[in-house]
Amino acid sequence: MFYESEPQAVLRFGDVVRGYVLSAPQIDSPGTSPPVRYRVEVHSPKFAVIMSPCCSIGDGTLAISPLIEVRPQFFWNPYFAENLTNINRPMPAEKAVWPDEWAKLTPEDKQKRMSDGDAYALVEYFIYAPHDLLPPYAVKCPGGSSETGCYMLDFRRICRIECNKIVKPEQAPLETKVLQISIETRGELRDKLAWYFGRTPKEDML
């Protein structure tokens, strides 16, 4: 079960919401103080996801990320095409690429990759399963055009909004809440997000 059948009357980490505006400053010449050339583009995604941990929702601040369309290339991999939410969990090396690509690898390279065991692939992304409230859209798959109801988060696009109506999880604009993910799904999102920010870069490993 990806979503809760009966969402709670509180805002929670992983909730799908709507009606918020997001912005990402674009700086042409960073380094000068103050920067002389920059742009602030504001957009209002159809859906967004709450990225603040449940206990940190409040004080007029919320971390949020747009819920965006998935990459058509995901459907080239039969393991992903079968269920795109497989991207959310660690997987064996041979499942992370499509069979033709796996066949190109040398036996040594295959062995090296398989020795890593189950691991995340596509570390920036987390897929949201289809739901009646999320409109399907067309994607170009290997076999031609198709339709999907899956959406995804890109952890690189998380940003902050401020809203005085967000006092605490239960005292917030609840009318913006569209869907709540299940405890199990929230655990997967938390694990992948924690791993995304918590991994140690190879150059820092002793």
Partner 1 sequence: MTTRDTSSGQNTGDNGVPSTIVTVPFDRYEIVLELGPHREFLRIVEVRISKDFRSVQQKVESVDYHDVSDLYEDR
The residues that touch partner 1, with contacts defined as CB under 8 A, are: 1, 5-6, 71, 73-74, 76, 90-91, 93, 96-97, 101, 113, 116-124, 182-184, 187, 191, 194-195, 198-200
Alpha carbon distance, N-terminus to C-terminus of the chain: 41
Its sign, for the CA torsion 113, 115, 120, 123, is negative
Cα separation, 35 vs 27, whole angstroms: 7
For the CB of residue 190, give the shortest distance to partner 1 in the complex, in Å: 8
- Structure tokens belonging to residue 158: 């998380």
Residue 20 or 76: the one with the smaller Cβ distance to partner 1 is 76
- Structure tokens belonging to residue 196: 């995304």
For the CB of residue 106, give the shortest distance to partner 1 in the complex, in Å: 16
Residue 166 or 181: the one with the smaller Cβ distance to partner 1 is 181
Centre a 10 Å sphere on the Cβ of residue 50 and count the other Cβ atoms it contains.
25
For the CB of residue 73, give the shortest distance to partner 1 in the complex, in Å: 4
Residue 129 or 166: the one with the smaller Cβ distance to partner 1 is 129
For the CB of residue 192, give the shortest distance to partner 1 in the complex, in Å: 10
For the CB of residue 185, give the shortest distance to partner 1 in the complex, in Å: 9
Check if the beta carbon of residue 136 is closer than 8 Å to that of residue 130. yes
Do β-strands 61-66 and 159-162 pair in parallel, antiparallel, or remain unpaired?
antiparallel
Residue 120 or 166: the one with the smaller Cβ distance to partner 1 is 120
Closest by CA to 72, choosing from 139, 1, 23, is 139
Check if the beta carbon of residue 148 is closer than 8 Å to that of residue 12. no
Residue 25 or 142: the one with the smaller Cβ distance to partner 1 is 142
